[in-house]
């Protein structure tokens, strides 16, 4: 009988506690609504900190995704042999002491013929980065990239053809005036008609279109569809310049053998370059993911800066919220005295002010998260990345605002709970 009585008493107490919690929540919400201006200013301070944190981190996630997808499209297992003077130097990860000799067409072709590793080998060169493409009375802006490639270039560079065909070996050897154009050029110059077999002007030359590349979109601010690929031998003749350096792209048939293929390629090209055993290589072997990894490594500094900015702003917001809650305690001293006089315990008073502080923190956090996602995805839209919902940073933002609310409200809540009801009732 006694155990049954204890059970019903426990149930009754639980219901009472639940009712008190709900009543405290209602009182806290009414108090927030009664001080609209003060609440809005505090919410905006918290929201700005969370917006800076979530916005920058969302933008960096978008940039990381854009970089990764861009280099994946270039061929995840490919590597290239380039003039060493063209190395990229980022934070000291690579270096050069002098400009080494360029890679002539003869050496590139010799390597392609002599490299017997199971891999695709292509020879390519940059013809121009500021060409204008014309068709009848239509023309593009002078920002078209002209690339010279051979019959294997599309495969080693990660490009696909949506219409038409690739170059043949005979067409490469004869330096034919043929071109494969990017999707953006096809849409701009031809719209509803097929571009195949049409004659276009690239610079001062006339070229017949034999293919259209599949759409890739923009990446890191560059439109990868604004490109013309013509035979590498044709670029050598009509876009020639002093010391033109050619690139050699290698795509192993088996991706797991990439490191072995790199070693074989370096040894073979050193022999072609007639380098002594003790001499360093005067060329650079660039794995397709090297530059991507260097860029991704450097983005971590942006992430660190964003976290520091967000934490500093939230620290300021916590101080502001604490001051506002202390003012609220002073303004409502008589109310606290009345509540204590009619039976409210110190614990209930403490909960009320903590609830208010947490409410304000969470409202600011939700607003900051929404604004941060929008700001971060604005950057994603500008660089052509898909919409990102950063769930990790959303959860982190909610937790941070909860911590800020508890820390900021704890001291004012304790102060309010310790007020003497008799003194509080006499407060004016």
Q: What is the pLDDT of residues 46-83, one digit of tens each?
A: 888 788 778 888 887 777 777 666 655 555 578 888 88
- What value does the mean pLDDT take over residues 335-339? 72
Q: Has residue 273 been placed in a domain? A: yes
Show which of 242, 258, 287 is a domain's final residue: 287
Do residues 145 and 227 make contact, with C-beta atoms less than 8 angstroms apart? yes
Q: Are residues 88 and 36 in the same domain?
A: no
The answer as to whether 7 is a domain residue is no
In a domain, 364, yes or no: yes
Total structural domains in the chain? 2
In a domain, 330, yes or no: yes
DSSP H or E segment with residue 218: strand 218-219
One domain for residues 41 and 130: no
State the residue range of the domain holding 242: 75-287
- Domain's final residue, options 257, 287, 317: 287
Domain boundary among the residues 233, 262, 287 is at: 287
Residue 5 lies in a domain: no
* 127 touches 148 (CB < 8 A): yes
**346 has a pLDDT exceeding 90:** no
User: In this structure, are 124 and 90 located in the same domain?
Assistant: yes
Among candidate residues 216, 283, 184, 172, the one with its CA nearest the CA of residue 74: 216
Lowest mean pLDDT segment, chosen from 96-100, 146-150, 274-278: 96-100
Q: Quick one: 65 and 178 in the same domain? A: no
Do 346 and 360 share a domain, yes or no?
yes
The token pair that represents 400 in the structure block: 């941070």
Residues 126 and 247 in one domain: yes
Instruction: Specify whether 130 is located in the same domain as 194.
Output: yes
Residues 217 and 348 placed together within one structural domain of the fold: no
Could you tell me if residue 9 is inside a domain? no
Residue 10 belongs to some domain of the structure: no
Please indicate, yes or no, whether residues 362 and 321 belong to a single structural domain of this protein. yes
The mean per-residue pLDDT over the stretch 97-121 comes to 84
In a domain, 14, yes or no: no
The answer to whether residues 123 and 248 touch, using CB atoms and an 8 Å cutoff, is yes
Q: Where are the beta strands (DSSP E) in 224-321?
A: 227-231, 247-252, 283-287
- CA dist 426 and 336 (Å) reads 11
Both 372 and 301 in one domain: the answer is yes
pTM of the model: 0.55
Quote the CA–CA distance of 294 and 276 in Å, as a whole number.
Answer: 31
Confidence of residue 171 (pLDDT cuts 50, 70, 90): very high
- Is residue 378 within 8 A of residue 55, CB to CB? The reply is no
Domain identity same for 277 and 314: no
User: Which residues are CB-contacts of 338 (< 8 A; sequence separation ≥ 6)?
Assistant: 425
Q: Tell me: do 329 and 414 sit in the same domain.
A: yes
The rounded percent of the chain whose pLDDT value lies above 70 is 79
């Amino acid at each position: 009988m006694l155990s049954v009585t204890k059970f019903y008493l426990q149930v009754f107490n639980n219901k009472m506690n639940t009712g008190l919690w709900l009543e405290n929540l209602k009182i806290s919400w009414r108090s927030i609504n009664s001080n609209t201006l003060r609440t809005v200013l505090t919410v905006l301070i918290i929201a700005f900190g969370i917006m800076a944190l979530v916005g920058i981190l969302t933008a960096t996630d978008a940039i990381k995704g854009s970089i990764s997808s861009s280099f994946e499209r270039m061929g995840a297992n490919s590597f290239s042999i380039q003039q060493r003077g063209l190395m990229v130097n980022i934070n000291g990860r690579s270096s050069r002491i002098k400009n080494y000799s360029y890679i002539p067409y003869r050496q590139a072709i010799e390597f392609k013929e002599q490299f017997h590793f199971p891999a695709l080998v292509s020879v390519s060169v940059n013809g121009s980065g500021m060409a204008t493409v014309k068709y009848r009375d239509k023309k593009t802006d002078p920002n078209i990239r002209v690339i010279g490639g051979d019959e294997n270039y599309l495969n080693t560079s990660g490009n696909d053809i949506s219409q038409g065909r690739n170059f043949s070996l005979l067409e490469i050897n004869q330096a034919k005036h043929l071109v494969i154009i990017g999707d953006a050029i096809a849409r701009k110059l031809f719209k509803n008609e097929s571009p195949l077999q049409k004659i276009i002007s690239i610079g001062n030359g006339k070229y017949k279109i034999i293919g259209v590349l599949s759409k890739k979109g923009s990446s890191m601010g560059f439109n990868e569809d604004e490109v013309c690929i013509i035979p590498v031998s044709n670029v050598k003749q009509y876009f020639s310049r002093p010391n033109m350096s050619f690139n050699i792209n290698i795509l192993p048939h088996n991706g797991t053998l990439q490191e072995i293929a790199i070693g074989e390629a370096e040894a073979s090209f050193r022999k072609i370059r007639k380098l002594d055993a003790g001499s360093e290589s005067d060329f650079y072997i660039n794995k397709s993911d090297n530059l991507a990894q260097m860029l991704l490594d450097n983005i971590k500094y942006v992430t660190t800066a964003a976290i520091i900015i967000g934490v500093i702003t939230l620290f300021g917001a916590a101080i502001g919220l604490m001051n506002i809650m202390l003012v609220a305690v002073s303004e409502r001293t008589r109310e606290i005295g009345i509540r204590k006089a009619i039976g409210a315990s110190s614990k209930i008073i403490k909960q009320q002010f903590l609830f208010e502080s947490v409410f304000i923190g969470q409202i600011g956090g939700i607003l900051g998260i929404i604004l941060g996602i929008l700001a971060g995805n604005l950057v994603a839209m500008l660089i052509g990345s898909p919409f990102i919902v950063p769930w990790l940073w959303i959860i982190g933002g909610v937790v941070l605002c909860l911590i800020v609310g508890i820390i900021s409200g704890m001291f004012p809540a304790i102060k309010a709970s310790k007020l003497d009801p008799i003194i509080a009732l006499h407060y004016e």
